[in-house]
Amino acid sequence: MQKYLRCGAVAGALLVGVNVAAATEMPRTVAQSQSHGGMKGLSTAQAAPNLTASQRREIFQDLASAKEESAPSGFRPSVGAIVPGTLALQELPSKATTDVPLIKSYKFAKLQNQDVLLVNPQDRKVIDVITK
């Protein structure tokens, strides 16, 4: 009888240990899934690049001759704002992505007031507003 109790206690301890280990691994698995396309229903938002003042100036200069558009009525360009579908997003020129590789996966819109909006093309969210 004592032998069965000891085996039961060992088996119980092993099960608890496995469950604790599995629970500890869960957050890492979710984080890995999010960074690799995500699990269904989880956010896969791309982190905005942290641009230096020098990089921002470089981007602004590289886009100096880009086509300007008027902002749609009611649209307030700010980080996190969703760009309306009526505002065309343009591909970044190779000079800009060579000068600042961090922005390679983004698109942009240049407004008539000279503001440059860097935009995540997947969700059309403004990730940065570069002003003169």
User: What's the pLDDT tens digit per position in 84-98?
Assistant: 999 999 999 999 999
pLDDT computed for residue 108 by the predictor: 97
* In the chain, % of residues over pLDDT 90: 61
Domain range for 123: 53-130
Question: Vertex 62, ends 97 and 128: CA angle to 5°?
Answer: 70
pLDDT at residue 42 greater than cutoff 70: no
d(CA 73, CA 50): 29
Q: What is the CATH number of the domain that holds 93?
A: 3.10.450.160
DSSP, res 10: H
The overall average pLDDT reported for the chain is 76
> Do both 57 and 38 map to the same domain?
no
d(CA 77, CA 52): 20
pLDDT computed for residue 132 by the predictor: 86
pTM: 0.64
Cβ atoms of 68 and 111 closer than 8 Å: yes
> Do both 126 and 61 map to the same domain?
yes
pLDDT at residue 103 greater than cutoff 80: yes
